[in-house]
Structure 1
Amino acid sequence: MKNLKKLIAVVLTFALVFSAMAVGFAATTPFTDVKDDAPYASAVARLYALNITNGNTDGTYGVDQPVTRAMMTVFVNRLSGYRNLAEMAKNDTPAFKDVSKNYWAVGDINLAAKLGLTHGVGNGMFDPEGKVTYAQALGFMLNALGYKNLSWPYGVVAKAQDLGLTAGLNRAYNDVVTRGDLALIMDKALDQQIVTSYDTNGNPVLGNKLISKVADVTRYLVVATPDVDSNVAQGKVLVQGIKDVNSDGVITFKAATTINAGTVDFNKYLGKVVDVYSIKGGDPVSVDVVSTDKTFTAKSFNVVSNSVYNDGSKVVDIDTPANVTVIYNGGKTTLDQVATKVYDGANVALTDTNNDGKYDYAVITGAYKASVVVTADVKSTDKFLNVNNVYNSSYRIAGDPVKTVVVTGSVTSLTDIKAGDVVYYASTIDGSKVTLLVVRNKVEGKITKVAYDGSTTTATIGDKDYTVAQYINGNASGAKATVGQEGTFVLDKDGNIIGFIGKQATANYAVLLAFNANDVWNNGKVKLLTADGKVNVYSTTVTSTTYGTNDIITYSIDSNNVVTAINSPKTADTDNVVAINASAAYNKDTHVLTVSGTTYYMTNNTVIFNYNSTDDSYSTVKLSDITKDTLNVKQLVADQYGYVKAIYLNESSLTAEQSVSSTVYGYVTGVTTIDLGSGNTQYKLNVLVNGSEQTYTTKVNLTPTPSTGAAAIGLDSNNVIVSFASKASADVQDAKVNSYNVYGITTDKGTFALSPNVTVVTKDSSGNYVLAQLGDLAAGTTVDLYKDSTGRIAVIVIK
């Protein structure tokens, strides 16, 4: 082991190892004929930066110009770092008869001849204006790299191909090479090691890279960049130089310092020991990695004592976790801070920076929380993602501490994220940088088969099987995939079903109209009024049921249209099933139903079954169809906040809903008085309402005079304020939040239903009231609650 470490020490100190990886050069050039997206653009840029080419006098590089033999010697000499020697050699006697002493490239031709890089074309001639072929250009490059005695032309071309010099080119060996072609060849040659000698078996002994002839080379440990540490200035990179390498190969580093980053993206090399190639006295142009990493995909990642385990197996020994620097989702921290947050699927790269056998630097990317299906389009004012119909504070996208949001995948900006998109959420430990991977992958169809092997659910849609999340839409109280489920299914990045777009939660409601169990002679039968308004008789395998005629139920049906289960309509433990069989007061404007003093809220998501006794027919109706002041209700199913999921009516006639002026509940932040003359006054109000900031004007001479604070605002069909009722004091004051969801809020002063258009406001640092979201309601937050006319909470003011 000691001898091995000594060998490593030698390699680290003196050689550029074979595993080194060069970075591409991304700078632009001053040449008018080199476009940034050209295949040779980065090659020409690096050659220009290294002073290997200065282009033509007309400002072009001459990408399509043929390369002459004279040009070729100039390029080869410059690549080899012998520009000064060529200048000296121009005073020597010309090496070839057809090259005059005054010829522009005489010095380079003389030098190339003396170094054995060219032997001319025979008979003492060089043919300086002759056009260089593809094979000849490769031969010149191989000569510069020290390769000798290669057969012509195929041995030359084969060796160049082995070294990668021909990548991206498809030329015959006798085709004339252009300056654009040559730029690609030369750029690749710069990253090849030079042959220093041959061993006794004739194998080449390799030394430094060709680029080391024209660039300064310094070895560093890359510590941090501005992207992961705000203390590093833009355009810089924090590094540590090599101070010493002892006999066991252990490296001692110098104190950290910053260098110019140049055009190199050092984010790719965080935690790695690298050789940095810089323009002589200037900025970096490329990098080679010389350290060795342990890379893997996280699966049950764990840190036990001073070791890292993955999927139950030990990966490496580490320094004390608090001493292991980690770049986690783009932010700098330590391993003890993130050990429990290396989620399955994250990419982990561990580096032993000083070669002491203990890994002390890690880069962890893609540490995403479990994917979620977004349930509302992202607006520019949103501070959180809307998940399961709640602006969830676990998925913050704006506001302190978020400073940077990176959106990748199917979209590249926040406001392009739409309801139904799958989002993977990652953040730095301090929350300042958020990365969102958006997947917009869906499949349309109907589930024809569901299989469960004890651990995995598989649904068949069309002729393809899909693995299904345990509970669709990530809600443990929601429905699993069922046969007959039809619509749009949302897929995650691995192609698994994670969500369903449609009425999944209500699609299996029905009214049980008749039931006959199995007997000796016949299959069982069940008659249902289903949520699509159809009455059908199905075969059933159900042998008994506790539910009677005219009960609301849920059901399961297989691919053969056989009802396999008749279940309670309670899709959550907190649901209530209420048998009424009586007339109930109904407000057609607010869609509020009052039964024996209990308030229920109808919504567009309510499944409304109806029996018409006049013609003995069954149907389902829309909320907008109901315009009566009283409703004959047989039964309803509601959640704990009073929102009705399904209801069964006994109404002979339903008419279309009448259009009415609307009343909104919001928080007025400013009132401007407008004098119209002749004693007429109008007001302009800035109102936080329905999750946005709106400006309304009042009718002329509105009374009472509007004021700031919570208010009920009556609007006509043109959104002009025609009535104003200030809510001088909160209905519920100084309540402390326990929990909330999209339907209701629980506080130390009671549980309340929320209006679908609830508005949340708070004060900013200047004391001004501004919009907030439900996600701001952390447990323990003190709030004032204002109710609307239905008794639901319409305005929440964070105190």
Structure 2
Amino acid sequence: MKKIISIFLITSVLFSFCAVTSMADSATDETVADYSGDYDFCLRLGMFPENLDPKAPIKRIDLARIFSNVIMYGTDLQPLGESEIFSDVTSDQAIYADLVAKLGIMVGQGDGRFNPDGYMTYEQVTKCMVSFLGYEAMAESYGGYPSGYMAAATVLKITGVAPKYPTSYITTENVATFFKRAIGCPLMERKAYNPDEKTYISNYEKDYLSEYMNIYTLMGTIEAVYGTNTVNSQNLEYDEIIIKDTKMKYDTKKDNLISMLGFRGDAYYKVDGDTYTLEYFEPDLNEVEYYDYDDDDLYKIREEKKPYDKNIKIIYNGEICKTYPDVYMNPWSYQELDGGVTFIDNNSDNKYDYMFIDAYETYEVDFIIDGVIHLAKRSGEVINFREYEDGKEVLFTNVEGMPISPDKIKKGDILSVSKGQSGKVRNIVVSIDNFIGEVNQIEYTDDLYTLDVEGNIFDSSRTLYRNSDMKDINQGMAVKLKFDKHGLVASVEPYDFSYMQLAYLVDAKTGRGMDVDENVQIKIFTGAGLFEILKLNRKVLVTKGLEVTKVDASKAVTDYIGTIDARAVQQVIMFEKDEEGNVRALKLIDPDAGKIDGLFSFGQASSLEYRSGTTSCLGGQILLNKSTKIFSVPTEEYRDNEEMYSIFTFYGGKSYTVEAFGTEKMSPFASAVVMKVDRATELFNPLGVFVIDSVTKSLDENGAEGVKVSGFMDGAEKVYFTEGDNLKIAPGNAYPECGDIIRFKLNGYGKIESPTLIYDKSEKKIENSDKNPSSTTYSAQNRSIFGKIIWADDNGMTIEATGKDDFGNVTSLKESYVKSSNFNYYICEKIQGKSQMRKSSPAEFWAYPEGSGVDETVYIYCISGDPKAIVLYK
């Protein structure tokens, strides 16, 4: 039994219900706030405009616009022309600035200016929110601005994520947190019977969502969706759900709420007569457990796991099972189905409330005619979805759960089809993922396949053995794998010999004399990180740019691949094997052909910054995906050193000198990227620094005298060698000591070259400078900071660093960092009088008050402001 458990205390929407935007480290004078989902919430409800950066400090005019969007919700706000109040706002900005000023929510600078591009601080936003909700009198009674408003916000429980200093700039994400927490806070209204009296009363029937936006909140469980109703016998339309006995409509193009059945959360909805329209659903406090079963019966789950609620709802592929005996079955192996079981405890009572049995079969599409899907390789089987009228809008979904139209389905797509116990199709997940490669090994056990394709191991679905092509699949063949919704192989088909594999050509040799074309070989470095030697057929079909010709094998090397000093020119190639494994076709690059369909270069090698995350690209010009091969190879001088060839992984925020290659002229995606190095430079040390534990004279692996350097890099313990006095870079022409931090390069033989001391522990100096480079900004890509921890908790810490400016003046800088588990933490400490290095964890990094007797300092190395290595000196 294979078991996967995931527990969510959900405060943001699951199952791709809304977009996720990561929260980066904020600037020094901004509030540091993790991603909370509150920005997405406010954006979805129409409060926030779409052009704001959630991690950037918010501008005054943007906050004014947000308040205006809420207060004038549903109104088309047209420019007023010139402002009636302020002299420094544009005609587009005037309507927002004037509105918040007239309502007393935001005021200008007192000189007739609004300062629209100025940033808001935490205490300023707090004042605005208290005023917006009508609690000025309370705030003034507590002492007025700023402390009285801060106190009022605390009492009202509407505060955002508090920074260390209330005068810090506040991010847009944190502003969204204010608005989110203000939901449910009753608006304060002046007593109507005495409008001049300075007393107010809370209107508990109104919060700002209901007052201004006609949006109401309901906490409850999604109890019924299209096709599955657990509360009554009512048949819902495809765009309807029931939450806590309340039927609501929703937009199926934005949300997939069918997959949210059984989840408890907050529903935000509008009311128009008798129609309730859901605007946003936010799951909360649901514990979800998923079990992927092979042959275990379901009753074992019931006996071995946590208790069930007495009113548990059991759903098999969307159909309700009324009693426990209805699930005394194995819905998978005996029926040749795949799937698993999902449990939901949605009320924190440690008992299952919902049990979902997922049992599906996989098919491959041949063609669709008149509402009938004809299936490939399945002897005339079809899926008829004519009976689904409006339900077709939600019957088909992609692997992320979002509805797709049937007319988007095409030949070769894989369908994961779930049918209820009645036999009715309940859901069809359409997947298009595939993988092309050469089969290394096939194993077949109990009607299940395990395939090794180019070093990647894939498990099959239970229905793969019914694929009529499987009998023809053999080791060494090129195949195309297609996957079902859970990533299991649902289809394998021979890939004809137009299949071209991509590799880096390392070398080539021809035969001699009369046999010049008999034993021509090429040596390649593959995308799997392996070297291969392949034989060329006597005649090879060569495509170079737009030229296609069949030539003798020797001429393919000398005239087309090309040689320099009798050595083959190293380059990216594509090749095709015949049935015997020999190369029968080559595809080469012709620089003069430009961008063509086939194989081309994006241009000369250049330095480009790699941008990670959802936009995986080089310099915003060349896109990368999971199939892009990134070859790190040596320059001509070191071409015979096989240790210098590798498949590389780029790291965000670093620049690389590369040449990129594509195969489709209209596509910005690269099929291969080549990075040439004459030594293992910092490219092979993405974190850029090496923390020394010890430096000793020793014999290297070849028995030669040298210097052994032990320490930590990239979160692992490393050992390197160098020669002579190369490493005498510490003050007094000495070797670095334990706790010192260096950068270096490796030559073609893996030995240290060009070491640089970037932190001297004994002198407490960075990069041999009197100045502390940490006084620069985040615009410095590689930067260091050294100082003391002045504040810390379980989640973050603040460092205070001191240094000198260009004039010798002492400078001070404070920076805050989240204690991310992705960073590399080390500690240098004295044990029995001797300094030693060890790996550490965030839990050991704390602040201690003056006079405590604890003297600890911290060094942090950053790339693009993102900490990569953190060393604590005890």
Q: Which TM class, normalised by the smaller chain length? A: 0.3 to 0.5
Per the normalisation by structure 1, the TM-score is: 0.36
